[in-house]
């Protein structure tokens, strides 16, 4: 708990003076005012987060947290739980979508096992932070203990801190791997947003109508059993969450504590962001909505977080793929702010 408390204590407001300086520079660059649209506001937001008028997000780090879910025993996914471990190995070999997009973005992809139901070789190039071999079945009992929930948060913080110590970076991104994690995320979103499961649920790995109805029933059963209180975010996480979701929340909180902008990926990352915001409302100021997921409830999560997605591509893969694409936009926004000439330096006449 000490690591979590210390991180929460370090989260402060963003730098309004840096924002003002970036806004002032945007006003004198060689372009009509506002002509670069959302890229202008994006650069100003990043300036405030980093506390510098000349923000730079290169290089970036994509944090992919992995964990399994006991609720898969209820038949809520189209894929078996074995896929979680198999995809973790695929990540280390560079063969997944996030590896491709991470390379394109010039970002390093960091993978951590926080709760996969498989014993990886110690030599595998991942962070070995396993709390347990998957959560318990939330439809029958708590997904994890409160102590395990805190450990998951602190695992994410520890991975972030280790990466920052190894080589500093300008932006972070959240990614996930865990068969069954849309079920946990929907339950958490319902608890935090006070909305029905049916209004929030997505098809996850691509389940059909029958499986979707079963998934809704399972989530409703778990919520009725545990009655999670949104005023107790650690309680919500322990009752119906996932180890990788908690770890992503830790990454988000650590990003805010270090004044590093954090790109929130899709549905699972949205649920993690809801925990982070509940633990520290100020952390939302450090979040950037990467994209709008193809899963129906994601937009409602982003609305609660006060985030406007940079991309709308109908993606619902997870892994941090939408965040990797958005990372390129963040880099472009900062480069435009820093590298464009001003009207004065370029000798271009200003409109009278």
Directed axis angle between helix 321-339 and helix 16-26, to 10°?
A: 70
Q: Which of 19, 74, 148, 319 is catalytic?
A: 319
Coil, strand, or helix at residue 311?
Answer: strand
Structure tokens at 220: 């409703």
CA distance 77 to 73: 9
Directed axis angle between helix 243-257 and helix 146-166, to 10°?
A: 50
**Backbone φ and ψ of 109, nearest 5°:** -100, 120
In a 13 Å sphere around the CA of 5, the CA atoms on its Cβ side amount to: 2
In a 13 Å sphere around the CA of 256, the CA atoms on its Cβ side amount to: 29
Produce one character per residue of 257-268: b if its CB has 16 or more CB atoms within 10 Å, e if not. bbbbbbbbbbbb
- Asked if 244 is an active-site residue, the reply is no
For the annotated catalytic residues, the residue numbers are 319
């Amino acid at each position: 708990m000490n690591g979590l408390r210390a991180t929460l204590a370090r989260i402060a407001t963003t730098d309004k003076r840096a924002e003002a300086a970036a806004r002032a520079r945007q006003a004198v660059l060689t372009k009509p005012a506002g002509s670069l649209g959302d890229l202008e506001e994006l650069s100003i937001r990043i300036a405030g987060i980093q506390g510098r008028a000349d923000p730079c997000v290169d290089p970036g780090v994509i944090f992919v947290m992995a964990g399994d879910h006991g609720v898969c025993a209820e038949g809520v996914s189209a894929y078996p739980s074995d896929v979680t471990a198999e995809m973790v190995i695929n990540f280390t070999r560079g063969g997944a979508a996030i590896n491709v997009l991470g390379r394109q973005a010039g970002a390093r992809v960091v993978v951590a096992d926080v709760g996969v139901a498989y014993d990886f070789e110690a030599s595998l190039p991942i962070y070995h932070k396993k709390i347990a071999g998957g959560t318990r079945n939330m439809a029958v009992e708590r997904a994890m203990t409160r102590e395990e929930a805190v450990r998951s948060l602190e695992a994410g913080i520890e991975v972030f801190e280790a990466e920052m110590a190894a080589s500093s970076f300008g932006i972070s991104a959240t990614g996930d791997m865990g068969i069954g994690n849309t079920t946990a995320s929907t339950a958490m979103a319902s608890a935090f947003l006070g909305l029905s499961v049916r209004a929030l649920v997505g098809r996850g790995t691509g389940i059909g109508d029958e499986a979707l109805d079963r998934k809704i029933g399972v989530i409703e059963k778990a919520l009725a059993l545990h009655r999670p209180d949104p005023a107790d975010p650690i309680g919500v996480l322990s009752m119906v969450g996932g180890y990788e979701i908690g770890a992503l929340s830790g990454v988000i909180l650590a990003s805010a504590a270090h004044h590093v902008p954090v790109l929130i990926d899709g549905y699972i990352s949205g649920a993690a962001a809801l925990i982070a915001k509940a633990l520290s409302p100020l952390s939302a100021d450090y979040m950037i909505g990467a994209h709008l997921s193809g899963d129906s409830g994601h937009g409602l999560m982003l609305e609660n977080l006060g985030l406007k997605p940079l991309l709308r591509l109908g993606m619902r893969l997870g892994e941090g793929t939408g965040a990797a694409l958005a990372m390129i936009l963040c880099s472009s926004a900062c480069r435009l702010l820093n590298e464009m000439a001003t009207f004065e330096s370029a000798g271009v006449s200003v409109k009278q």
